[in-house]
Chain A
Amino acid sequence: MGLITSLLAITLRAGTSLVYATIGETYAERAGILNLGLEGIMLMGAVSSFATAYYTGSLALAIIVALGVGGLMALIHAFLSVTMKANQVVSGLSITLFGTGFASFLGQRLGPASNGYYLVGLTGPRFTPFDIGGLANVPILGAVLGQDIFTWGTYLLIPLAWFYLYRTRNGLSLRAIGENPRTADAMGVNVNRAKYGYTIFGGMLTALGGAHLALAYTPGWSENITGGRGWIVIALVIFSMWNPARAITGALIFGGINAVQFRLQASGTNIPAAFLNMLPYLTTIVVLVAITWWETLSKRVGSPASLGTAYVREDK
């Protein structure tokens, strides 16, 4: 396998969890809900799916549990920010604080007695890349096709998410809600139901991203397995200008730098590992600032206008 092909393979794998969460959060933000709880939801998705897979041996069940946990945590956020009209930043941060702490707690309690009740260091069932036979040696194509089911899922999810948002009736309503909920409401769109729905959907996809980490990317559970990916996603949503199709570029940049730094570390370079580990984050920040600066200069459309604000119909 050539260098480019192997780098691409790692890039796609590293970017997968980001694609899920970015698209999920894009949908939530299009509905005007800023969910800063992503990091917590992702961690909870990871720990719950790994524990389920370890005990039941069923990967399908593990995914269902992750979806349920993610949906439930997002439901709390939706309830606080839609029904209770709480400050979305506070609500989201609480969910991350809770999720981070609780996932860590579960990681120390859910394990078998033989492992001191710890989940860390155990191996369970995992998703492996599809065996594509001879195709694996085809440059580029081998990297794209020789992936696990999660990464394959993103190939479908990205175009579907784009099509839904820009070509369907529901997508039109969704875009309108984020820009101008009052107008959407007056035109007969059920604003609050949509806000709930898309926030929960976003939480489910984010937890799925977490499950990908624990079941495929770095199989197993470890403290802070997400490495702050939940926060990176918040940035990637902005970077992709709330367009699901552009979520792929953000994920590729972060995943790509990850792949390169792995490669460098493996090659025994004398650049400190800590610096290399930092690179994906640093690059994301730099690119994000540059892009935002450029978009502002060129007066492109920005964030959904109602993002982060509660909608009240009869505000007199």
Chain B
Amino acid sequence: MTETASETPLVEMRGICKSFPGVQASDNIDLHLDRGEVLALLGENGAGKSTLMNILSGLYRQDSGDVFIRGRKVDIRSPRDAADLGIGMVHQNFMLVDTMSVAENVILGMASLAFVPDMAAVKRSILELGERYNMKVDPDAFIWQLSVGEQQRVEILKQLYRKAEILVLDEPTAVLTPQESHELNDVVKRMQAEGKSAVFITHKMDEVIAFSDRVMVLRKGKVVAEKTTRETDPKDLARVMVGREILFHIEKAPFSPGAVVLELKDVCAEDERGLPALRELSLQLRTGEILGIAGVAGNGQRELSEVITGLRPVKSGGISINCVDATNHTPLQIINSGVSHIPQDRIAVGAVGDMSVANNLAMKDYRSAPIASGLLIFPWRILEFARRMIGAFNIATPSPETMVKFLSGGNIQKTILAREIEACGSLLIAVYPSRGLDIGATESVRKQLVAQRDAGKAVLLVSEDIEELLCVADTIAVMYDGKAVGVMPAEGADPQEIGLLMAGVSPSGKESRP
């Protein structure tokens, strides 16, 4: 019996198919996972990695195909069924209730607990688990008080507390600093040593190499390769994943900065909770320059873009655009002074999902001729304008009248990019412009940014992807806790040093938190 148990895979998925309206997310996928193994699921966005794992964790139901756990065919109807089988998933968007404590989140939904749970015992176990896996977290803290890295620890502790044997991690490192990623790797290795298994979803090659034993590459819902990690290398994986050679390098003209376009002097601003988000931040950006802002999300990057674009009040300090004071100007004044903005939240701030591509494209040009004349706007001119933009920026849409929400993330971003670049006078602010986009779309976004810089505009690029900054930016500023803790030329910058600065550690090894 024990012999057969060691031969049958822990998890086996056979012929899994799942489609969403218009998309075949999983197309006849076979997957197996052994005890004590870490499997990497590699693929671009929309390749069907998360869908497959959401089926395993009971959030989605497959259209056809079977799942076997420890050799027994199972029917996973809900996340509770999955939990009962020892499957625990750490979702990309954390499944945590912000207003509840760590301990409450850990036990949420556990049917095996007493009706009136013994919270003291729960907290003790959380501390013990934290000790054992070197993931310390205060069980009484509220989720909203924790950093993203700490929140992820809670997610993993939650699964460990439930004695999950199969841990599914959906792009776990997307929100982590390089140092936090290393810590996560240690935790996964420790779990592996205890005989637990993990499936690791990612689109980053180096993580596959660092974390996994075996890698499965998905493309458009199909398995296109399956290899032992030792037998592969990042270049090889990238080619299989995208289906063609990828240029990691982007051509750009030599760096020759001109006049100062944007200057921030000792800018202070607050976040929604009234806590300081920017602390005496000073920056300078010139024409023909891409200034890359590095940093872990939540260190003031969003607030930075908002104070410049007039969406958030400046408490003290000053902002000038083209040497004219623009502190606390209205968004319209700032638009009129030639500033374009590609916001962080492309669905909520960047576009109106329920309006057509054409109307979204015209959203900045509708105030003036040729689209408008006095109080009137001319719909046929909007369409004309939209057709031209759709062609120029290669936006894949069935028609200019299609609602934006029906486009893919990459094409929504292209729509915003087209509008903002068309209206851009001298300064383009791009906040995480390639976040969530696949390699192809990312490449085209980056090329557009560089083209704007080559055309003599100033570009402020906020990104958490160090590689992106190194290949696109001319200057890199690292933000930590609302301040620029390091400004350096991108050429020859050391990714390790940037990573340390992002984590709040100055290169000399001291915490730079005030």
Contact = CB atoms under 8 A, between A and B. Distances in A.
B115 A168 contact: yes
Given A168-B115, A168-B117, 14 more contacts: A169-B113, A169-B117, A172-B107, A175-B97, A179-B97, A179-B99, A180-B96, A180-B97, A180-B98, A183-B97, A183-B108, A187-B109, A314-B20, A316-B20
B276 to A, nearest CB: 14
B274 interface: yes
B99 A172 contact: no
Contacts of B20: 314, 316
Interface of A: 167-170, 172-173, 175-176, 179-180, 182-190, 299, 301, 305, 313-314, 316
Contacts of A183: 95-97, 108
Contacts of A186: 57, 59, 79, 89, 91, 95
Contacts, number: 81
A188 B99 contact: no
B109 A189 contact: yes
Interface string B140-182: 0000000000000000001000000000000000000000000
A188 B79 contact: yes
A169 B60 contact: no
A313 B99 CA distance: 22
A187 B78 contact: no
A305 B100 CA distance: 12
Contacts of B392: none
A200 B208 CA distance: 50
A255 to B, nearest CB: 30
Interface in B68-108: 78-80, 83, 89, 91, 95-100, 104, 107-108
B114 A169 contact: yes
Contacts of A189: 108-109
Nearest to B94: A183
Contact of A188 (B109, B116, B274): B109
A172 B115 contact: no
Among B83, B97, B110, residue most surrounded by chain A Cβ atoms (within 10 Å): B97
A185 B83 CA distance: 12
B111 interface: yes
B244 interface: no
B116 A169 contact: yes
A188 B83 CA distance: 8
Interface of B: 20-21, 23, 57, 59-60, 78-80, 83, 89, 91, 95-100, 104, 107-111, 113-117, 158, 273-274
Given A173-B109, A299-B273, A185 B79 contact: yes
Contacts of A187: 79, 83, 95, 108-110, 158
Among B95, B100, B109, residue most surrounded by chain A Cβ atoms (within 10 Å): B109
Contacts of A190: 78, 80
Contacts of A301: 99
18 contacts: A168-B117, A169-B107, A170-B115, A173-B108, A175-B99, A176-B100, A179-B98, A179-B99, A180-B97, A180-B98, A183-B97, A185-B59, A185-B79, A186-B95, A187-B109, A301-B99, A313-B59, A314-B59
A176 B96 CA distance: 9
B59 A176 contact: no
Given A172-B108, A299-B273, A188 B115 contact: no
Contacts of A169: 107, 110, 113-117
A163 to B, nearest CB: 8
Nearest to A304: B99
A172 B114 CA distance: 12
A184 B108 CA distance: 7
Contacts of B113: 169
A188 B80 contact: yes
Contact of A314 (B60, B91, B108, B158): B60
A173 B117 CA distance: 12
Contacts of A316: 20-21, 23
Among B60, B108, B114, residue most surrounded by chain A Cβ atoms (within 10 Å): B108
A305 B114 CA distance: 27
Contacts of B21: 316
Contacts of B83: 187-188
Contacts of B114: 169
A167 B114 CA distance: 11
Among A183, A184, A187, residue most surrounded by chain B Cβ atoms (within 10 Å): A187
A285 B59 CA distance: 43
A183 B95 CA distance: 4
A305 B408 CA distance: 27
Contacts of A188: 78-80, 83, 109-111
